[in-house]
Structures are given as structure tokens and as C-alpha cells.
A and B are shown apart, each in its own frame.
Chain A
Amino acid sequence: MSLVHIEDAGLSHDGGESFVFRHVTLALESGQFVAVLGPSGAGKSTLLRVVMGLVPPTEGRVTLTAPAHRDGTRGTALVFQDARLMPWRSVRKNVELGLEGLGIPAPERHARAERVLKLVGLTAEAGRWPRQLSGGQRQRAGVARALVTDPELLLMDEPFGALDAITRAGLQQELLEIWRETRKTVLFVTHDVEEAILMADRIVVLSGRPAAVRADIMVGARPRDPSSAEMRALTSELRRLIAEP
């Protein structure tokens, strides 16, 4: 069953003279891990914000069909590229941000925060300030803040783009494990072809501005071996698609 319908959506900031993206049509299946790949500045992040409902599209429609409204959860949650924790909140309080305003009593908020902090390996850091965390830990806290709201759809905006290679590889594996356990629908923006191939069931390639869907590719079975002939062929195919004018 599809969870998100993007129908001929477009976004223009100048009343229709130029578009960030246009004629984008996509349906995301429930439980799918979808990577959005494209050249930088193509409007991938903006598309995420439209799906999230932070920015309304100027053309077309985006509909999120959550199966049934569940109390104490949010339909969507976003993980930012630069973590964006609130520096005046402890790690635990940052994670609880999305639970405030849902009418959840404080003890339950704490318990849920503890649970996701354990999931991302930050139990010991719960009481620390964001400035005391490493880049990788901050990003984990950002993932925990999104997961705690138990969203139908998890939106990730180049979440590991600013991390060093080793930290990134570790977090990619952790995210895959979390995804296997929770089976969230994930929309994952990246400009890293290897990352998309490693993580996603399906890769959507966007063209340059105005962004439109250039290719929509299903990736084969897991686990993926990036050195196999099949994956190498896919890598060069994706590179070619991104570089195309």
C-alpha cells in the first residue's frame, strides 16, 4: 500500500517564472527505503520539505495517507544534514522535542526518549549538552529525535553528508538495522551514489533545476556487495544519469 502520493508537484518561489522542481510524480510504498539522488542544488532538500508539509507546493499535490491516526505519534519526522540540535537542551530534552505538544505525560516522554537513545547508542550521553557531543553523536541524536515520534514516514536530508568516512559507514549500518527492525518508510536524500546503492530499495534520480524525476530504479536483493559486477554497473549507470545535462 502506498503511503505518500506526490502528484505532478512543483514549487516556484517567484510566482511561476522559475521552478525548484516541477512535474514530480512519485508514490512511496509503505516500508520502502527510497533514496533520492541528484546533483547538488537540484532541489532534493526542498522536495523533502514539501513532503514534510513545511512548505506547500505551488503546483500539484502531496498526500500522506497514514493508515490510521495513532495517538502520541507524528506522521512524518525529519533528520537534518547538520543535526540541528537545540544547544540549550540536553540530549534527552532534544529527543523529547517532538513529543511535547502531543499530550504525553512527562514520565512516558522520558521512557520513550530513553528507548530511542538506547537504539542509537546514546544512553550514556542523555544528560549532556549538544556541544559536548562528537559530530557522529549529534547526528545519532538527530535520528533519535525523529524516531521517538514513531513516524510513518522518516525523511532524511543528507543525514551523514557532513561526517567522516568511518563514522558515516558505522551510522549507515546502524540505520539499516534500525530500518530492518522498525520497517519505517524512509525517504533519504543524498548526493552519494554508493550510499544510495548500499541503503535503498529504490533510487529516484532527479535532474538539475528545475528538478524532475529522471530515473526510478529498483535495487536488487540485500546485503549489497558494492564490488559485484551488477552493483558496479549500477554505480556507473547512476553516475551517468546524474551527470547528464
Chain B
Amino acid sequence: MTERRLSGRVRLGLSLSGLIVLFALWQAAVKSRLVPPGILPAPSELWPAWMAEISGGFWQQSILDSLSHYATGLLAGSVLGTSAGLVCGSVPVIDAASGGIVRMLRPIPGLAWVPFAILWFGLNNAGATFVIAISVFWINFYAAWGAVKAVDRDLYEVAAAFGHRGFFSRLSCVTLPAAMPGLLAGLRTGLGQGWMSVVAAELFGVPGIGARMMQASSLLATDVVVVYMLTMAALYALTDFLFGLVRDRLLRWQG
């Protein structure tokens, strides 16, 4: 079968109609009592719930709180993870020395660090930021490590032949630009992972979208829970879209 290339407008249209169909089926399932009452709010109930959250000021405040955790956690995790991955990928001694530590820490999920986040940072923004940073760190670490390993060795010889020989010279002349597609793929995955960990990070009571969701769910206010789920989805879509623009600009050379 030949793959047909769809234009951007057609793809956007299809994507929106997929969402509309989902919401329509959802509405029909709840209203026709196909789904037992009380376990799932109908889409039509979300609007009033959302308006109530906005008029109370909770929605705006939660977004601002979460955005600040998200942005600082994402920044710290991405910068540290990418740098560590770059160093381990390009210096064999450090790579070997850190191999055991990496394998020990890697499988521990961000959520498992919550008790320590509370102990070390307290019930505050720093604690939430720490949990987000940890989950983003590993994604960027492996993306950077893999991207450095995949750099075409021959290009180092080219760089050396034209006078770029020191570690930092090689890094800026070859490693960073050659690894850029991989680094950006890691950053993009981290962008999504960061939002996922916002809930975990705020679970223990630091205010934000996650905390607000936990409050609502303890009151069985499922409509409010869904409002914040969709809010998070929209924030993710926005950050991913903006990142896509930057990425396309940086990788023009790939065409």
C-alpha cells in the first residue's frame, strides 16, 4: 500500500473531527445510561464545572502554580540530564565509572522520591520541582547519551583536519550540532513527561493542578477532575506546539 501524504490542513481537520467524535460518543454513552450514572461526568457537565472553577479563581491560580513547578523542574531536569548525558557519552572513563550508579537510580520513578522531596525540601515548590526534575532528567540523559554515541566519527576527523582539536572545540564544532536532533527529541519527550509528573509532584499537597485534582477526587467531584485533565492536555499541546516551532527552526538543515 502506498502511503498518501496529507496536507497540514487536512491532518488538523481529521484530528479535530476525531476529538469531536470522541466527545459525542462519550456524551451519548453517559446520557443513554450505557455507563452507570455517577462514575463518569458527561462532557456537557464540564462547562459549568469549569466556569465555577474560574469564577472561584482556583483554575487560574492552579495553572500559575503548576506552570512555575513545571517550568523550573523541566529546565533543571533538562539542563542537568542533557549535560550529564553529553559528558558520559563523550568521556569513556566517566561513562564507565557512572554506569553502575545510573543503573541503580534509573528505574526509581519520580513518585518514589516524594517522601525524600518532603524531607529535603519540605511541602513547598522546591519539593514539587525536584520530583518533576528527576523524571525529566533521565529522559534527557539517555537521549543525550545515545545522540552522542551516534555522532558520525568521521566528522571528528574533519574537525581535527581543519584545526578544531580540543575537547571543547570538538564539542561545539561537532558533538553538539551533530547530536542536536537527538537532544531535541529528548527535550520534547521530557516536555510531556514533565506534565505527567506535575500530578505526582503535587500529590502531597503543594498547590497546583495536581493538588486541585486530588482535592476534587477526594470529594468525588469527577467533573472538576476531568476539567483539570483537559486543562493539562491543553497546556501540553501548547508547549509541544511551541517547542515544535523552535525545533523546526533549529533543524532546518535536515529538510
Give A residues with C-beta under 8 Å from B: 49, 52, 54, 74, 77-78, 80, 82, 84, 86-89, 97-98, 100-102, 129-132, 145, 149
Contact = CB atoms under 8 A, between A and B. Distances in A.
Contacts of A97: 158-159, 162, 164, 173
B253 A87 contact: yes
Interface residues of B, number: 20
Interface of B: 154-155, 157-164, 169, 173-174, 177-178, 180, 252-255
Given A87-B253, A88-B180, A131-B255, A77 B154 contact: no
B162 A88 contact: no
Given A86-B155, A97-B162, A101-B164, 6 more contacts: A52-B161, A80-B158, A89-B177, A97-B173, A98-B162, A101-B163
A173 B255 CA distance: 33
B160 to A, nearest CB: 6
Contacts of A87: 253-254
Contacts of A52: 161
Interface majority SS on A: helix, strand, loop or mixed? loop
Contact of A129 (B158, B162, B253): B253
Nearest to B154: A84
A88 B177 contact: yes
Interface majority SS on B: helix, strand, loop or mixed? helix
Contacts of B158: 80, 84, 86, 97
Contact of B253 (A49, A84, A88): A88
* Chain A CB within 10 A, most for which of B160, B162, B255: B162
Contacts of B255: 129, 131-132
A164 to B, nearest CB: 22
Contacts of A149: 162
A155 to B, nearest CB: 9
Which 4 residue pairs of A and B lie closest in terms of their CB atoms, listed nearest first? A98-B162, A88-B177, A78-B161, A88-B253
A101 B158 CA distance: 15
A10 to B, nearest CB: 21
A97 B162 CA distance: 7
A16 B153 CA distance: 26
B160 A131 contact: no
Contacts of A98: 162-163
Nearest to B255: A131
Contact of A86 (B160, B163, B177, B252): B177
Nearest to B160: A54
B253 A102 contact: no
B208 to A, nearest CB: 39
A145 B163 CA distance: 12
A141 B180 CA distance: 23
